[in-house]
Amino acid sequence: MAFTRREFLRTTAAGVALASIDATLGAQGAEALANLGVTWHKTVCRYCGAGCGVMLGVENGKPVAIRGDRENPVNRGLMCVKGFYLHQVITAKNRLLHPLVRKDGELVQASWDEAMELVARKFRESIEQYGPDSVGFYGSGQGLTEETYLANKLFKGCIGTNNVEGNPRLCMASAVGGYTTSFGADEPIGTYDDIDACDLFMLIGTNTAEAHPVIYNRLEARKKANPGTKFIFIDPRKTPTNKLVDLHLQVKPGYDLAVMNAIAHVLVKEGYTDEQFIAESVNFSDGTKPITYDEYKAFLQKYTPEYAAAQAGVPAEQIVEAARLFGKSPTAMTMWCMGVNQRVAGVFLNNLIHNLHLLTGKLGKPGCDSFSLTGQPNACGGVREGGALSHLLPGHRAVDNEQHRKEVAAVWGVPVEKISPKPGLHAVALFDGLVQGNVKALYVMCTNPAQSLPNLNRYRKGMADAFLVVAEAFHPTETTKLADVVLPVAFWGEKEGVYGCTERRSQHLAKALEPPGEARWDGDVLIDLAKRLGYGAYFEHYKGPEDVWNEYLQLTKGKDMDLTGATYARLRELRGLRWPVPSTDHPGTRHRFTREDPLFPAEKAGNRRMYFYTKPDGKAVIFARPDKAPEEPTDAEFPVALTTGRILEQWHTMTMTGQIPALNRPAPRAYVEINPADARAWGVADRDKVRLTTRRGQLELEARVIDRPRPGTVFVPWHWADRLANVLTTDAVDPASKEPEYKVCAVRVEKA
Ligand code: SF4
């Protein structure tokens, strides 16, 4: 197939569409805008978890311009094409201006009082009749930390249910599981600073060029500054990320665990291990009990490059080459995203990545880290650190820990008995509760599960049947269409708060505008609901988001993610702070568990370079994790592997980016990528209509015949609401993280 203009652009540097003030307006242009009365407000991009700093330009109460924040060390003034149009989303036509209530099957305009009374009555009735676990909250890695904190407090601390979940369960839970088991605490050890000192990048399950374009630009900049920098890519597709790649292991979807073990096999066999680091800082486990280093080596015997090659469908020589590149390089970073996490073996695969860094000691020093990329701007901050999943409490605490419940109850000012010790329902189980009728009422904030959940045909019906409240800035979305009440809320730029991005950096977002129509801050709406449910006493001391943040900071004090020094005063001034930041004169931390970490216990650590103080003996764990096939391997009936993902111009369910014509133009319709060899075999030509069928659903899409997915695999971007890719995907979850396996299932492809 001839390259379209879009394909051409996306495989060139221009394809990541990076823009800075200098490239767009020019310095003179910015000055001219200032002279016209435009005021600039420091904030953070609303989209991916890269955490780019942006400046929002406002004139006469209207958003008129946006530019990358040159003083922000994350993006140094750059933005990708999504961020470049973000200010236009604020005034998009689909902004919701008034509350809506369903009457006679139709959503009609209502007053705030009528809508909130209905919500409070339905929740109260359900709680009284069926108990607190008959209701739930489903939030988002896009909500502000302060909003998520209030919801967590209302549901866990006042109503008394741990049915508090968020969409980070669908994208990051396996990364949390990996970090927690391998190192004793969630989130990366290093930071973006490591990119600038790294000689070898291993990218696995991440199309960085499209999903995190500004991070990709930093990788390119590193290559330019240090031409010897090498890139290994492990992914079933060729993507624009390939432009940087020296070695691409184009694995079968779902079969890369053996590859990671085989790389470890070669590292051990050929002597690339750091024996001193292992002796000082590493334990070994088979997942149920401690094992010895020798037992781990015996476990690796099976994972020869030839064995892994047969599993993953890549040449054994490539695996050996990848291991040698990793072993020989003085520094190495592994980066990954949904291709690793959205798997039934997601936690195992995260552990196997950490193993390579622990074996070689490539951790806790410049240029080295096993560094998970994050899909949403505040998944790390509000949900992971804020403890807004069904088993967590704020500050990396757990609901099943009595001491943790006491600490949280003391700060919340609620009786400790109110916080249940029983973990609530994880995301898929929560929506299954709607289907089964066990969960009667659900409050959804800032997310679109009727499009983003897997196996959608099953869960959309549950959402339609239960009492569904959706607090949203936009309407219609697939979820608001199913709601009983839709509450209009403030959008980015119209409210103040904090986001925490991939590199442990908490950043302040300024309020620059008033919300339109009757839209209100989500925090106000939650406090309103709390009052109507009789819990006003626990919320009336908040005068605004800063009070909420200050209360949350108390719950981080002394924890591994200590944010005590990240006050609003500092965050308003600075371009974020990376925790631990235990005092207001602390600059933040580049590498955790090292001597630069303010929590490093020097007296316990002796001469050790790293001390994992979140583990009882300060040692991280290398896990002997076996390879594991996907939940739904291909077979005679469904002979093709389906994988899903994102494209450069769109973000998630297109509620925001779909409003921007310039972003819709490059890919105006949903499509499926088919390898040319498969297309020939199936008699499919480019642009033909094809039918995709899985055990759960069916979808007709336009074929893009292109040498990107490996033969036997098709790729569907999941953004479009008129072609719901998730009717096809499986809701099988990782047994540990409960994250669904969006990234691989079995499909049949036919010409429609
Ligand atoms: Fe926004 Fe991510 Fe693009 Fe940065 S890379 S501008 S955070 S979407």
pLDDT in tens, 517-541: 999 999 999 999 999 999 999 999 9
Catalytic residue among 254, 361, 375, 493: 375
Return the pLDDT at 36. 72
- The proportion of the chain whose per-residue pLDDT surpasses 90, expressed as a percent, equals 95
Find out whether the beta carbon of 74 lies less than 6 Å from any atom of ligand 1: no
Give residue 5's pLDDT: 41
pLDDT classification of 684: cutoffs 50, 70, 90: very high
Reported as a pLDDT band with limits 50, 70 and 90, residue 452 is very high
Q: What is the mean pLDDT of the chain?
A: 95
DSSP secondary structure letter of residue 95 = B
**Is 82 near ligand 1, meaning CB less than 6 Å away?**
yes
Do 405 and 416 form a contact (C-beta atoms < 8 A)?
yes
User: 46 CB under 6 A from ligand 1?
Assistant: no
pLDDT confidence of residue 330: 98
Task: Confirm whether 501 is a catalytic residue.
Answer: no
Residue 114 in tokens: 């009528």
Q: Which residue's alpha carbon is at the smallest distance from atom 4 of ligand 1?
A: 52
Among the options 48, 52, 116, 171, which is catalytic?
171
Distances (CA, A) of 72 to 51, 75, 128, 546: 10, 6, 50, 22
93 is catalytic: no
Please give the average per-residue pLDDT across 402-421, as a whole number: 98
Nearest alpha carbon, ligand 1 atom 3: 80
171 Cβ closer than 6 Å to some ligand 1 atom:
no
Distance 219 CA to ligand 1 centre (A): 15
Catalytic member of 48, 53, 57, 82: 82
Name the strand (E) or helix (H) holding 216.
helix 213-225
Cβ of 16 closer than 6 Å to ligand 1, yes or no, is no
Query: How confident is the model over 557-578, as a mean pLDDT?
Result: 98
According to DSSP, the β-strands at 62-68 and 53-59 are antiparallel
Q: How far, in Å, CA of 746 to CA of 694, rounded?
A: 6
Instruction: Read off the pLDDT of each residue in 543-554 and give the average, rounded to a whole number.
Output: 98
Read off the pLDDT of each residue in 565-574 and give the average, rounded to a whole number.
98
Q: Write the pLDDT tens digit of every residue in 699-732.
A: 999 999 999 999 999 999 999 999 999 999 999 9
295-307 pLDDT tens trace = 999 999 999 999 9
Question: With 70 as the cut, is the pLDDT of residue 648 above it?
Answer: yes
pLDDT at residue 7 is higher than 80: no
| Residue 315 CA to ligand 1 centre (angstroms) | 35
- Whether residue 11 is predicted with pLDDT greater than 50 in this model: the reply is no
Contacts of 625 (CB under 8 A, 6+ apart): 257, 261, 287, 345, 348, 349, 351, 352
Pick from 408, 411, 430, 429: nearest CA to 419: 408
Ligand 1 closest atom vs CA 215 = 5
- Average pLDDT for residues 605-626, to the nearest whole number? 97
For 5, 6, 662, the CA distances from 665, given in Å and listed in that order, are 11, 9, 5
- What is the spatial distance between Cα 163 and Cα 429, in angstroms, rounded to a whole number? 10
Distance CA 58, CA 78 (A): 19
Average pLDDT (570-576) is 98
**487 CA → ligand 1 middle, Å:** 27
Q: Which two tokens stand for residue 704?
A: 């893009």
Residue with tokens 């950043």: 507
Active site annotation includes 82: yes
212 ligand 1 Cβ < 6 A: yes
Q: What spacing in Å lies between the alpha carbon of 564 and ligand 1's midpoint? A: 27
Q: Could you tell me the pTM of the whole model? A: 0.96
For 715-737, letters b (16+ CB in 10 Å) and e give bbbbbbbebbbbbbbbbbbbebb
Q: Is the pLDDT of residue 447 over 70?
A: yes
171 carries an active-site annotation: yes
For residue 20, the CA-to-ligand 1 centroid distance in Å is: 12
Catalytic residue among 172, 202, 463, 745: 172
| Contact criterion met (CB below 8 Å) for 644 and 717 | yes
Q: For 275-290, what is each residue's pLDDT tens digit?
A: 999 999 999 999 999 9
84-123 in b/e form (b: 16+ CB < 10 A) is: bbbbbbbeeebbbebbbbbeeeebeebeeeebbebbbebb
Probe target for ligand 1 pocket from 212, 501, 502, 509, with the most ligand atoms within 8 Å of CB: 212
Phi, psi for residue 122 in degrees, rounded to 5? -65, -40
Backbone angles phi, psi at 649, to 5 degrees: -85, -20
Q: Which of 44, 47, 501 to mutate to test the pocket of ligand 1 (most atoms within 8 A of CB)?
A: 47
Q: Per DSSP, what are the bridge partners of residue 232?
A: 202, 247
Give percent of the chain with pLDDT exceeding 70. Answer: 95
Nearest to 485 by CA among 102, 190, 143: 102
Tell me the mean pLDDT in the region 202-223: 97
The whole-angstrom separation of Cα 361 and Cα 605 is 16
> Measured between alpha carbons, how far is 10 from 216 in angstroms, rounded to an integer?
13
Contact 400, 421 (CB under 8 A): yes
Lay out the sheet containing 39-44: strands in order across.
Answer: 39-44, 53-59, 62-68
Q: What is the pLDDT of residue 29?
A: 65
Residue 286 CA to residue 270 CA, distance in Å, equals 23
* pLDDT tens, residue by residue, 417-429: 999 999 999 999 9
Looking at 167-207, list the stretches that DSSP marks H as alpha helix, in order from N- to C-terminal side: 168-171, 173-183
Contact 459, 434 (CB under 8 A): yes
Hey, how many other C-beta atoms are within 10 angstroms of the C-beta on 71?
Answer: 12
Three-state DSSP at 690 gives strand
Contact 616, 412 (CB under 8 A): no
What is the CA(245)–ligand 1 centre distance, in A?
22
Q: Tell me how far the alpha carbon of residue 214 lies from the centroid of ligand 1, in angstroms.
A: 6
Q: Which atom of ligand 1 is nearest to the CA of 74?
A: 4
Whether pLDDT at 18 is above 90: no
Among 338, 501, 610, 654, the one annotated catalytic: 338
Q: In 3D, which of 185, 81, 188, 646 has the Cα closest to residue 375?
A: 646
Q: Is 406 a catalytic residue?
A: no
698 labelled catalytic? no
Residues 184-194 have a mean pLDDT of: 97
Is 589's pLDDT higher than 70? yes
Other Cβ atoms less than 10 A from the Cβ of 403: the count is: 9
Range 579-604 average pLDDT: 98
Check residue 37 and give its pLDDT. 85
Q: Could you tell me if the CB of 52 is within 6 A of ligand 1?
A: yes
Residues 511-518, mean pLDDT to the nearest whole number: 98
Give the model's pLDDT for residue 2: 36
Which one-letter amino acid corresponds to residue 239?
T
What is d(CA 610, CA 365) in angstroms, rounded to the nearest whole number? 10
Q: Give 60-119 pLDDT, tens digit per residue.
A: 999 999 999 999 999 999 999 999 999 999 999 999 999 999 999 999 999 999 999 999
CB 174 within 8 A of CB 341: yes
Q: What is the spatial distance between Cα 198 and Cα 296, in angstroms, rounded to a whole number?
A: 28
Q: How far is the CA of 86 from the centre of ligand 1 (A)?
A: 10
Q: Which of 142, 318, 376, 659 is catalytic?
A: 376
Is the C-beta atom of 214 inside 6 A of ligand 1?
A: yes
